[in-house]
Amino acid sequence: MWTYVDAIGWLNSLNNFEKSRRFDTDPTNWQVGELLNGLGVDKSTFEMIHITGTNGKGSVATLCAKVLTLLGRRVGVFKSPHVNSFSERISIDGISLDDEVFASETLLVREMAEHLGLSLTWFEALTAIAYSAFFAEGVEVAVIEVGIGGTFDATNVFDAEVAVITSVGHDHLELIGPTLIDVARDKSGIIKEGSAAIVGLVDDPIFEVIQMRKSSSMSRFGVDISLQGRSAALGGQVIDFRTRRSYFSDVFLSAYGLHQAVNAVIAVSAVEELERKSVSPEVVNEACSSFYMPGRIEVASKEPVVVLDGAHNREAVEALTSVVKEDFGGFARYVAVISTLEQKQSAQILEVLSEAFDYFVLTTTNLEASTSVETLVEIARFSGYKFGVAENIPAALEEAVAFAGSDGFVAVTGSFRGLADARYYLEN
């Protein structure tokens, strides 16, 4: 009998960019399209919100799903990466896909791939499993987060009713660059003629590229939708904002930072475009006040204060640094535990973090593509940062907590990979 363990074992035998940070072949989506066609997955049975962007995809997807669930829709969510467990990636109505369902869908995908002579990557297989499960389980709306880019991403096999571009930044330039214009062009590939497009906070040249895509409508943050006001609050912030269809005031969002306020505006706008009507203030308030995303400026401990954040590129680290300055002032010492996967951006990550942190503890993860401690040390020493070194995340966190003391502040950041290890250490 094919089990969940068998399914994970087969997936782990496939080429996985998240582990190696390299593609054996250029990314394509035709294999997933062929496979889903062979499985008989019919897109007409569900609507879709498709989300891409350098940062913010996961937060927007989570909040979209929350609002839709409160509206009574049956919602499937496919997102990445996971922070605590693999099961976070595929869920229906807020519940991770059942192990038996996951196993059976994986077996179907594997057998169809073999029948069609396809050589799938790990992400292609997982994408097909998600779509097949959503179809089989009668999902009404699929909220789909792009892996990398847009045009050739494995998820880009169906036309979405709503296409969202949260941001355009410097991640994966070697794959979809080399310029931000190239990145914007690639990400805009999820916008189809029938799509209502939602575009986040981007510069004019970037928007001009995105605007070249034909769509049924296009809402730009700061023009058609906007944040009208925000103020700090215990456990988050209070925001006022408008969409094309509504105005919302005094909404408590249980997340920190301007970037999360922008994400909330984008998410509510996306749902309203899908529903083609305003969403009630009661639903928006309930969704925003109960918003939770692991590993996004997540307060994991209060004595001392330890925050977990998966910021792994310049733009995300800038957002984290801004939040630390705005919402976590007054601590005696600020210490960052840092592990990175993108060596090309490691120097930039350290540079930005140095604006808010007094001391770094440099470490690594067990991923093949994790930046070595030696490389991080070389960067830190050259730049004159104060730092210590640890062989793994638990040891680094222990050193950071000791250095920070009871009146200090600690952040674990630089990659999502280290967050699960940090949480396990804190809980045990």
pLDDT tens string 368-427: 778 899 999 999 999 999 999 999 999 999 999 999 998 999 999 988 888 888 888 888
Rg (CA), the chain: 21
Average pLDDT of the segment spanning 69-91: 88
How confident is the model at residue 212, as a pLDDT? 93
How confident is the model at residue 150, as a pLDDT? 85
CB 65 within 8 A of CB 94: yes
How confident is the model at residue 19, as a pLDDT? 57
Instruction: Write out the E strands in 140-209.
Output: 141-145, 162-165, 196-199
Average pLDDT of the segment spanning 221-238: 95
How confident is the model at residue 367, as a pLDDT? 74
For the chain, percent of residues with pLDDT exceeding 90 = 75
pLDDT bin (cut points 50, 70, 90) of residue 312 is confident
Q: What's the mean per-residue pLDDT of the chain? A: 91
Average pLDDT of the segment spanning 324-350: 89
How confident is the model at residue 226, as a pLDDT? 97
- pTM for the complete prediction? 0.92
pLDDT bin (cut points 50, 70, 90) of residue 177 is low
Helix (H) or strand (E) holding 33, with range, is helix 30-39
The pLDDT of residue 24 is above 80: no
Look at residues 368, 361, 374, 349 and name the one whose alpha carbon lies nearest to residue 402: 361
Task: State both tokens at 154.
Answer: 């494995």
Average pLDDT of the segment spanning 280-300: 94
Q: Is 51 helix (H, G, I), strand (E, B) or coil?
A: strand
Q: What structural domains and CATH numbers belong to the chain?
A: 4-289 (3.40.1190.10), 298-427 (3.90.190.20)
How confident is the model at residue 246, as a pLDDT? 97
Tracing tokens 């049975």 back to the chain, one arrives at: 45
Q: Which of 21-30, 78-87, 400-409 has the lowest mean pLDDT?
A: 21-30
pLDDT bin (cut points 50, 70, 90) of residue 183 is confident
pLDDT bin (cut points 50, 70, 90) of residue 151 is very high
How confident is the model at residue 18, as a pLDDT? 58
Q: Which of 160-174, 277-291, 379-393 has the lowest mean pLDDT?
A: 160-174
pLDDT bin (cut points 50, 70, 90) of residue 54 is confident
Please give the DSSP secondary-structure letter assigned to residue 306: E
pLDDT bin (cut points 50, 70, 90) of residue 21 is low
**How many Cα atoms within 13 Å fall on the side-chain side of residue 364?**
15
pLDDT bin (cut points 50, 70, 90) of residue 323 is very high
Look at residues 168, 166, 218, 153 and name the one whose alpha carbon lies nearest to residue 192: 218
How confident is the model at residue 335, as a pLDDT? 97
Identify the residue with better confidence: 21 or 400.
Answer: 400
How confident is the model at residue 244, as a pLDDT? 96
The span from the CA of 172 to the CA of 153, in Å, is 13
